[in-house]
């Protein structure tokens, strides 16, 4: 559904994206991660037709961008990280305008509002909405026309725990309906929970692309944290259990200081991310 081949985006001498190659199939939640300034937003701008690539090809549903943008627009939705509603109008009016542009029946508006739990506030002016409600309205707007590809930039930012759950459930439902969800997020728990495949970008280059499980299997580390007192001074140390030297050192410490407190540490996806992007900076 999404094909990116050797994408290069340069702004003068600054290289925003370099040699990016990716594939995302239909019915998949594809996580697109990276530190700030890695090139994620630039890539999404190319995918949504807002930017022309310096080199490389980008295809969505077989249509090459930017020449095939008019054919791609009805197939795509884009949930940006900033709200862009028509503030003077109500949530319902905002959705009705976009529904009219796609020639959709009015029932779609009520359906979208219901899915995002915005029905009660639908007739209030958007200027009165909270940040979370505005975010949900954005998502509601972009799923009106049941897009084949949905680009989401931080879809759960500013949402409370309940709304976050609603949105994640919705993204999962969209995936099950065959939509390709292209998701950028800084929330690693979200990546672990809903992403089928993840690409990590750093300094404009693709670091690695695989399923979250494969990332964990390949990069997770077994670590313990040890706390003990020496001459009245409290000490903490972390030991990598996969490192023989560290294991031997720990064994020696256990023998020398019998009053140790040992805690095993969970290695999460966030740690994988930090490990991969931190190494990329070295």
Partner 1 sequence: MKLRPHVLRALVRKDVARLLRNGPALMMLGLLVIVAFVTASSGLVEEAHAAPAAAEREPIPWIVYWDDNDWIRTLKRRARGRIELRFVDATELGSDPYPPDALVIEVRQPVLDRRNGVGRGVTRQHIRYRYPGSDPNALWPVTRWFLSASTAYFGEIPQFLETIEPITPPTRAQRTQAALESVSIADVLSLPLIATALLTMIQFFGACGLLVSLTAQERERGTLRALLLTPASFFEFMFSKALVHGGLAIGTSALAISALQPAALSSPLFWTTMVVMTCGYLAVGTLITSFAKNQAAPNLLSFAYLLVVGAMNLLAHRFEAFQFLSSLSFERYGLLFTIASLEQATSETASTASLLGSRQFFMFALIAIGLLLIATFVGQRRMRAD
Which positions ≥6 away from 234 have C-beta within 8 Å? 227, 228
If the CB atoms of residues 90 and 277 are measured against partner 1, the closer one turns out to be 90
Instruction: Tell the smallest beta-carbon distance from residue 234 to partner 1 (Å).
Output: 52
State which of residues 37, 62, 74, 178 lies at the interface with partner 1 (CB under 8 A). Answer: 74
| DSSP letters spanning 214-235 | HHHHHH---EEEEEEEETTEEE
State which of residues 19, 56, 80, 132 lies at the interface with partner 1 (CB under 8 A). Answer: 80
Question: How far apart, in whole angstroms, are the C-alpha atoms of residue 120 and residue 220?
Answer: 45
- Count of residues engaged in binding partner 1, rule: CB under 8 A: 25
Question: How far apart, in whole angstroms, are the C-alpha atoms of residue 159 and residue 258?
Answer: 47
Is 190 within 8 Å of 201 (Cβ atoms)? Answer: no
73 sits near partner 1 (criterion: CB under 8 A): yes
CB count in 10 Å sphere of residue 165: 13
131 sits near partner 1 (criterion: CB under 8 A): no
Q: Which helix (H) or strand (E) holds 71?
A: helix 69-72
Site string for partner 1, 32-51 (x = CB under 8 A): ----------------xxx-
Site for partner 1 in 246-265 (CB under 8 A): none
Q: 3-class DSSP state for residue 17?
A: strand
Instruction: Tell the smallest beta-carbon distance from residue 5 to partner 1 (Å).
Output: 23
Question: How far apart, in whole angstroms, are the C-alpha atoms of residue 271 and residue 216?
Answer: 9
What is the torsion angle, in degrees rounded to the nearest 10, for the CA atoms of residue 85, residue 89, residue 95 and residue 100? -110
Phi, psi of 276 (to 5 degrees): -75, -45
Instruction: Tell the smallest beta-carbon distance from residue 165 to partner 1 (Å).
Output: 26
76 sits near partner 1 (criterion: CB under 8 A): yes
Is 125 within 8 Å of 87 (Cβ atoms)? Answer: yes
If the CB atoms of residues 86 and 248 are measured against partner 1, the closer one turns out to be 86
Per-residue tokens: 233: 């001074």
If the CB atoms of residues 67 and 100 are measured against partner 1, the closer one turns out to be 100
82 sits near partner 1 (criterion: CB under 8 A): yes
Site string for partner 1, 83-122 (x = CB under 8 A): xxxxxxx---x---xx-xxxx-------------------
227 sits near partner 1 (criterion: CB under 8 A): no
Site for partner 1 in 137-176 (CB under 8 A): 141
Name the residues that contact partner 1, by CB under 8 A. 48-50, 70, 73-74, 76, 78, 80, 82-89, 93, 97-98, 100-103, 141
């Amino acid at each position: 559904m999404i094909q990116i081949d050797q994408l290069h985006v340069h702004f003068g001498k600054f290289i925003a994206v370099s040699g990016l190659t990716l594939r995302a199939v239909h019915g998949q939640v594809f996580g697109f991660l990276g530190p700030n300034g890695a090139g994620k937003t630039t890539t999404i701008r190319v995918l949504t037709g807002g930017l022309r690539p310096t080199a490389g090809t980008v295809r969505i549903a077989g249509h090459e961008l930017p020449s095939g943008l008019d054919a791609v627009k009805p197939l795509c939705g884009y949930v940006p990280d900033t709200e862009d509603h028509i503030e003077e109008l109500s949530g319902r009016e905002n959705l009705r305008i976009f529904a009219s542009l796609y020639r959709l029946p009015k029932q779609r508006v009520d359906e979208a509002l219901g899915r995002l739990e915005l029905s009660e506030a639908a007739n209030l002016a958007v200027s009165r909405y909270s940040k979370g409600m505005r975010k949900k309205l954005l998502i509601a707007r972009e799923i009106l026309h049941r897009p084949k590809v949905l680009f989401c930039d931080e879809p759960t930012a500013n949402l409370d725990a309940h709304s976050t759950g609603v949105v994640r459930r919705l993204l999962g439902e969209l995936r099950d309906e065959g939509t390709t969800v292209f998701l950028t997020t800084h929330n690693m728990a979200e990546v672990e929970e809903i992403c089928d495949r993840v690409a990590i970008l750093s300094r404009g280059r693709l670091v690695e692309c695989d399923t979250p499980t494969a990332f964990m299997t390949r990069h997770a580390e077994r670590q313990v944290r040890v706390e003990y007192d020496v001459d009245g001074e409290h000490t903490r140390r972390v030991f990598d259990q996969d490192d023989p030297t560290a294991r031997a050192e720990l064994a020696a410490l256990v023998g020398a200081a019998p009053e140790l407190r040992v805690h095993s540490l969970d290695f999460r996806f966030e740690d994988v991310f930090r490990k991969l992007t931190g190494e990329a900076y070295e």
